Amino acid sequence: MNRSVLTLVLSISFSPAVLAEDFHCPVASCSGIRQNGKGLDIAVAKATFVHAVESGEVIFADRLKQHGMTIIIRHNNGGYSSYGQLETFLVGTGVRVGQGKKIAVKLPGPPLYFELTQLE
C-alpha cells in the first residue's frame, strides 16, 4: 500500500483530483468521492466490480452493522483495506487476492465505503 495514498485517504482535507492521480481506485470511476469519517464514500452510477487496491488476504467477508456487506483485506505490509455497502461477494474469508482482483459487485444506492488503515 503506497504511503502517500494512505496519507491522502486519512488526511482531514483532500482533493479528489489529486487523489485520483496516485490512487488505485477500487471501482471503475472515482469521480464521486466524499470523505466519511476515516474512509471515503465512492458513488457508483451503475453496477460495477470492486477491485482489491493491493495484494493480501481476505480476513472478513460478512455483514457489519455500520457498512452492510463488507470485505476487509490484510495486506502484506500490515495495512488493511475495507470495502462496505457491497451487493455480492466474489471472494470469501481466507482467500489471497492480488492487486486489481475483482472481489465484489457494487450496485447504485448507498455509496461504496472504502477505508485504508495502517497499524503503527
C-alpha cell at 47: 453496477
User: Cell for 64?
Assistant: 457489519
Fold for the domain defined by 3-118? Glucose Permease (Domain IIA) (2.70.70)
Average pLDDT, the chain: 77
Starting at the edge strand that comes first in sequence, how are the strands of the sheet with 102-106 ordered? 48-51, 102-106, 88-89
Q: What is the pLDDT of residues 49-86, one digit of tens each?
A: 999 988 999 999 999 988 999 999 999 888 899 999 99
Give me the DSSP letters along 29-58.
---SEEEETTEEEE--SS-EEEE-SS-EEE
| pLDDT tens digits along 43-55 | 888 888 999 988 9
pLDDT by residue (tens digit) across 12-33?
A: 233 333 343 444 566 655 566 7
Which helix H or strand E contains 5, and what residues bound it? Answer: helix 3-10
